[in-house]
Structure 1
Amino acid sequence: MATAVEHGLAGEPVLYRVEDAMKALSLSRTVIYEQIRAGRLRAVRQGRARRIPASAIREYVALLEREAGGDQ
Structure 2
Amino acid sequence: MDRRPTSYDDLPLTLSVRELMPILSVGRSTAYELIHSGQIRNVRIGRRICIPKAEVLRFLKNN
TM-score range, shorter chain: 0.7 to 0.9
Q: Which runs of 5+ in 2 are unaligned?
A: 2-9
Q: Which residue of 1 aligns with 2:4?
A: none
- Higher-strand-fraction structure: 1
Measured in 2, the distance between the counterparts of 1:43 and 1:29 equals 16
| Alpha-carbon displacement from aligned partner over 1:29-71 (angstroms, at most 9, x marks no partner) | 111111112211111111211111101100110111xxxxxxx
Once superposed, what is the RMSD of the aligned Cα atoms? 1.8
Measured in 2, the distance between the counterparts of 1:25 and 1:45 equals 20
Which of structure 1's runs of 4+ aligned residues deviate more than 4 A? Answer: none
TM-score, normalised via structure 2 length: 0.76
Q: Helix, strand or coil: the match of 2:13?
A: strand
How do 1:1-72 and structure 2 match up within 5 A? 4=1, 13-64=12-63
Q: Which runs of 5+ in 1 are unaligned?
A: 5-10, 65-72
Q: Which has the higher contact order (CA 8 A, sep 6+)?
A: 2
Identity %: 31
Higher CA-based Rg:
1
